[in-house]
């Protein structure tokens, strides 16, 4: 399995509604025919030590193999 990750830095303006409505659909249309086995979007709101997280959102697409990506 190969994973493509896009990490959105904490503190940078991020429009979640637009991302979910537009970007995820676009990614699915582009990568879908190339063996995507799953998609995941994780929102990061805190860290164990209470510091600001490095990223606010991490988007992952899972592929069957490196060549599929």
Given this model, what pLDDT does residue 32 score?
84
Q: Which pairing describes strands 36-43 and 55-63: parallel, antiparallel, or unpaired? A: antiparallel
Threshold 0.95, pTM exceeds:
no
Tokens of 29: 């249309």
Mean pLDDT per block of 10 residues along the chain (69 residues) reads 93 91 86 86 92 94 86
Distances (CA, A) of 21 to 4, 15, 18, 34: 20, 10, 5, 21
């Amino acid at each position: 399995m190969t994973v493509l990750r896009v990490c959105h830095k904490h503190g940078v303006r991020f429009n979640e509604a637009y991302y979910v409505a537009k970007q995820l659909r676009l990614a699915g249309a582009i990568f879908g025919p190339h063996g995507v086995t799953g998609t995941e979007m994780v929102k990061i709101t805190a860290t164990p030590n209470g510091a600001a997280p490095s990223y606010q959102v991490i988007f992952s697409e899972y592929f069957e193999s490196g060549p599929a990506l």
